[in-house]
């Protein structure tokens, strides 16, 4: 699958089969994440890969949009180190790029994935920090549920010429 096709056809997948994602596929996902651009190339990200359904259940207790982790083969917690980010606010930007790379790579290798937001919700940040026992300087940014898709999603037209401006508004 070429990159344009991956971008245009990727959809958020929330239903998964029972087939397990391999360790090799996990490594590919994380390698792609770590090749994302980051401010001043600081690469402040950290990733926690989890397959334990008890963790998914704990997250579901406080995160209403995380139900798909229960079916997913695995979850990936994308975090950033406040001490490594270029400056305040850049960790979120860098982790956005890394998360998008995970989503596109999952689609490109035949997996389904969905971005489950944590930042900017303070209660979600605090709860995720507790579940994963994160050090004070590590900020949880997003969760990604990953698995083999058990649903097909439509590809609506999203190109909006009315949102494009040249030279000025």
Domains and CATH numbers, the chain: 19-151 (3.40.109.10)
> Could you give the angle at which helices 23-34 and 90-108 cross, rounded to 10 degrees?
140
Q: Tell me what pLDDT residue 156 has.
A: 87
Ordered mean pLDDT values, 10 residues apiece, the chain (169 residues)? 91 97 98 98 98 97 96 98 96 98 98 98 98 98 98 91 96
Distance CA 65, CA 60 (A): 8
Distance CA 23, CA 21 (A): 7
Residue 8's SS3 state is helix
Q: Tell me what pLDDT residue 61 has.
A: 96
Distance CA 106, CA 149 (A): 10
Q: Tell me what pLDDT residue 14 has.
A: 97
DSSP state of 86: S
Contact partners, residue 72, CB within 8 Å, separation at least 6: 16, 56, 145, 146, 147
Structure pTM? 0.96
Number of C-beta neighbours around residue 44 at 10 A: 25
| CA atoms within a 13 Å half-sphere pointing along the CA-CB vector of 79 | 23
Strand boundaries in 31-103, DSSP class E: 45-50, 74-81
Distance CA 164, CA 169 (A): 9
Q: Cα 140 vs. chain centroid, distance in angstroms?
A: 11
Contact call for residues 49 and 30 (beta carbons, < 8 A):
yes
Q: Tell me what pLDDT residue 87 has.
A: 95
Distance CA 56, CA 73 (A): 11
């Amino acid at each position: 699958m070429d990159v344009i096709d991956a971008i245009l056809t990727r959809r958020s997948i929330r239903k998964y089969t029972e087939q397990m994602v391999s360790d090799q596929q996990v490594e590919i996902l994380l390698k792609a994440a770590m090749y994302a651009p980051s401010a001043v190339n600081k690469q402040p990200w950290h990733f926690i890969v989890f397959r334990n359904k008890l963790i998914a259940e704990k997250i579901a207790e406080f995160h209403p949009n995380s139900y798909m982790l229960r079916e997913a083969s695995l979850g990936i917690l994308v975090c950033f180190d406040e001490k490594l980010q270029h400056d305040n606010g850049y960790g979120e930007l860098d982790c956005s790029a890394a998360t998008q790379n995970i989503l596109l790579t999952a689609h490109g290798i035949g997996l389904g994935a969905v971005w489950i937001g944590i930042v900017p919700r303070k209660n979600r940040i605090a709860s995720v920090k507790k579940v994963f026992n994160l050090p004070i300087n590590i900020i949880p940014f997003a969760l990604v549920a990953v698995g083999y898709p058990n649903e097909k999603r439509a590809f609506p037209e999203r190109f909006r010429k009315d949102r494009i401006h040249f030279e000025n508004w």
